[in-house]
Amino acid sequence: VLKRSFSTSSVRQVIKNVTVIGGGLMGSGIAQVAAQGGNNVTLVEVNSELLKKAEASITNNLGRVAKKLYKDDPNGAKKFVDETQSRLKGSTNPSDAVKDSDLVVEAIVENMSVKHKLFKALDEAAPPKTLFASNTSSLSIGEIAAVVNRKDKFGGLHFFNPVPVMKLLEIVRIPEQSEETYQAFVAWGKAIRKTCVTCKDTPGFIVNRLLVPYIAEAIRMMERGDASPRDIDIAMKLGAGYPMGPIELADYVGHDTTASIIQGWHEKFPDNPLFNPCESTKRLVQEKKLGVKTGEGYYKYN
Ligand code: CAA
Ligand code: NAD
C-alpha cells in the first residue's frame, strides 16, 4: 500500500530518470508507478495515437489510486494526480527518449527478434550509465541481453497485471549482471513501493512457472468437460482463496499472451507435458477473442 510519508530521496540519486518502452497494458502501469514513486518518466510508443491511449489509461488508473489514497481529501487527491502527471511525458522516438535515462524498462510485444532490434538500437543511443531491464513474461533475459554490450547492467524486472495494484516485482539475475546493478534494481523496486523477490533466469521465473501450467491445467479440465468454467473458477476462489479463478484469470491476462508463453516453452521443452498448448486457447486467439481486452474470451464482457 502506498504511504505518503515514504522517502525515496536516497534511491532517486541512483535512478531518477526512467524510460518505459511500450505503453500497453504493462508499460502504462509501469510508467505510472515509477512516476508515483518520484521518477521523471518518459513513456515510448510507436505512434502518437497509441501514446494518447496509454496516457488516457494512466489518467484513469491514477484516479483510482488517488481515490484510495486520499479518500476524504479531494485537494490532496488532485495534488497527487497533478504532481504524478507532471513527471510523465510521452515520446515516439526511443533513441531520443533514452539520452538521459538512468533506467530503461522494456514492455513491448513478447517477441525475441522485436526485442533484439529495440535493445540493439537502445544500446547505441543510451549513455554508458543506463541500466536496461525487460518485463518479459516468458523469454530468457540472458537471450534478450545477448545483443547488448552492457550485460553487466541488464536484468529482468517483471511486474504483474494490474501493475498499480499488484505488489510484487520479480528481479531476475543473469550471471553477467553486476552486484551494483542488482542493488540498484532492488532500491528502485522499493522506491516504487513494490515487494521484490529475486530469482534466476529460468522459464517463467517464479510466478509464471507456477501460474501458467496451473491455468493450462484448468483449461484442459474444462476442455475435457470435467467441470464448467464457472464451477472451476468458483472452486478455486472459494476452495483455495484465489482472488480470481483460473479461467477468469486467463481472460484477464489475455490469450495472445498465455498462448505465446506456452507455445514458446513447448518448442523449447517439447517433453514437458505441463507446457502443452491448449486447443481452445489457440482457437480463441485465431478468432481474436483475446479475453477482457477484446470484450470476449472464455467469457463475454460488456
Ligand atoms: N489501476 C489502479 N487501481 C486498480 C486497477 C488498476 N489497473 N485495477 C483495479 N484497481 C483497484 C480498484 O480501483 C479497486 O480499488 P478499491 O479497493 O479502492 O475499490 C481495487 O483495485 C480492487 O478492484 P476491483 O474492486 O475492481 O476488483 P477486485 O477486488 O476483484 O480486484 C484484482 C481486482 C486486483 C485484479 C484482483 O481480482 C486480483 O488480484 N486478481 C488476480 C490478478 C493476478 O493474478 N495478476 C497476475 C496475472 S499474471 C501476470 O501479470 C504475469 C504475467 O507475466 C502474465
Ligand atoms: P501490450 O500488447 O498491451 O503492449 C505492448 C505495447 O508495446 C503496444 O502498445 C505496442 O504498440 C508497443 N510496442 C511494440 N513495439 C514497440 C516498440 N518497438 N517501441 C515502442 N512501443 C512498442 O502488451 P503487454 O501485455 O503490456 O506486454 C508487454 C510485455 O510485458 C511483454 O513482454 C509481456 O510478456 C510482458 N508482461 C505481460 C503481462 C500481462 O499480464 N499481459 C504481465 C507481465 C509481463
> Mutation test of ligand 1: which of 160, 161, 165 has the most ligand atoms closer than 8 Å to its C-beta?
165
Is residue 2 predicted with pLDDT exceeding 50? Answer: no
Alpha helices for the chain (secondary structure H): 9-12, 25-36, 48-69, 74-86, 94-97, 112-125, 141-145, 179-191, 207-223, 229-240, 246-253, 255-268, 279-286
Q: What is the largest CA-CA distance in the chain?
A: 58
Estimate the share of the chain in helix, then strand, then coil, as percent rounded to the nearest 5. Answer: 50, 15, 35
The predicted pLDDT at position 41 comes to 98
Rounded to 5 degrees, φ, ψ at 131 are -85, 145
The Cβ of residue 246 has, within 10 Å, a number of other Cβ atoms equal to 25
The predicted pLDDT at position 225 comes to 98
ipTM for this prediction: 0.97
- Please give the average per-residue pLDDT across 89-106, as a whole number: 98
Domain-by-domain residue ranges, the chain? 9-200, 208-294
Task: Give catalytic status of residue 158 as yes or no.
Answer: yes
Atom 42 (ligand 2) nearest CA:
160
Q: Which amino acid makes up residue 75?
A: N
The predicted pLDDT at position 264 comes to 94
Question: Which ligand lies nearest to the CA atom of residue 294 in the structure?
Answer: 2
Percentage of the chain exceeding pLDDT 90: 94
The predicted pLDDT at position 138 comes to 95
CATH node for 9-200: 3.40.50.720
Q: Which atom of ligand 2 is nearest to the CA of 293?
A: 3
Gap between the Cα atoms of 135 and 158, Å rounded: 5
- Residues 156-174 have pLDDT tens digits of 999 999 999 999 999 999 9
Model confidence at 31, pLDDT cuts 50, 70, 90, reads: very high
**Of 208, 248, 255, 260, which residue is the catalytic one?**
208
Question: Which ligand lies nearest to the CA atom of residue 32 in the structure?
Answer: 1
Gap between the Cα atoms of 22 and 188, Å rounded: 19
- Please give the average per-residue pLDDT across 283-297, as a whole number: 97
Is residue 175 predicted with pLDDT exceeding 90? Answer: yes
Task: Give catalytic status of residue 45 as yes or no.
Answer: no
The Cβ of residue 135 has, within 10 Å, a number of other Cβ atoms equal to 24
User: Model pTM?
Assistant: 0.95
Strand partners, 169: 196
Grid-cell match 525515496, residue found: 8
Task: Give catalytic status of residue 40 as yes or no.
Answer: no
- Please give the average per-residue pLDDT across 6-24, as a whole number: 75
CATH assignment of 208-294, given 1.10.1040.10, 3.40.50.10800, 3.40.50.11260, 3.40.50.1220? 1.10.1040.10
Same CATH topology for 9-200 and 208-294: the answer is no
